[in-house]
Amino acid sequence: MLPLPLKLPDIATPSTRRRIYLPRCMPFLTENVNIYHQDKPYHKLTSDLIPYANYLHEIKELFS
């Protein structure tokens, strides 16, 4: 699988939602993203109306 850019759109849609899970395929991000998944209910991650801005903000907090 070719590496994909992590540029994310503003709103998650069924066609773009898969990009949310891309970091789970990257070993160097696995631990941080797993923490994120444990903190958030699965149904919230799969909602079509999740603003990516909130997701990215929380991911940045994990890395800081």
Considering only CA atoms, give the Rg of the chain: 11
For residue 27 the two structure tokens come to 């070993």
In the chain the first and final C-alpha atoms are separated, in Å, by: 29
Task: Please report the pLDDT score of residue 8 as a whole number.
Answer: 52
What does the alpha-carbon distance between residue 62 and residue 48 come to, in Å, rounded to a whole number? Answer: 23
Mean pLDDT over 28-39 rounds to 50
Task: Please report the pLDDT score of residue 7 as a whole number.
Answer: 57
pTM (global) more than 0.95: no
Closest to 25 measured CA to CA, from 34, 35, 16: 34
Closest to 9 measured CA to CA, from 1, 20, 25, 21: 20
